[in-house]
Structure 1
């Protein structure tokens, strides 16, 4: 196991860093190859706001 400095890398070992890089590259490739329609930033933020508002509402009702 090759230990890495937290100052240089967020990963403990070279193996973990390489595994993360491989995972990330695959996620990006999958995303670029996806056929689903693109979503605008405004639409994505609107969806996120609705989720947050729903969760906040549920939390408020649970606290009562």
Structure 2
């Protein structure tokens, strides 16, 4: 188990980095092979703008 430099990596060890990489790659693969309908870009942007506005300081 090698320790990683916090300046170069957000993970403490190579094992943590490899586990995250495997998890992330699996999520991407699942998304790319999904047959679920996509969400239109304009809809996603409108929903995210609503979240931003909800949390914006008044």
Same fold (TM over 0.5): yes
Richer in helix (by share): 1
TM-score (norm 1): 0.70
Instruction: Tell me how large the CA RMSD over aligned residues is.
Output: 2.0
TM-score (norm 2): 0.76
Q: Secondary structure at the match of 2:2?
A: coil
Partners of 1:48 and 1:5 in 2: CA distance: 34
Unaligned runs of 5+ in 1: 57-64
Runs of at least 4 residues off by over 2 Å: 47-50
**1:14 Cα offset (Å):** 0.3
Aligned length: 55
Give the number of the structure whose alpha-carbon radius of gyration is greater.
1
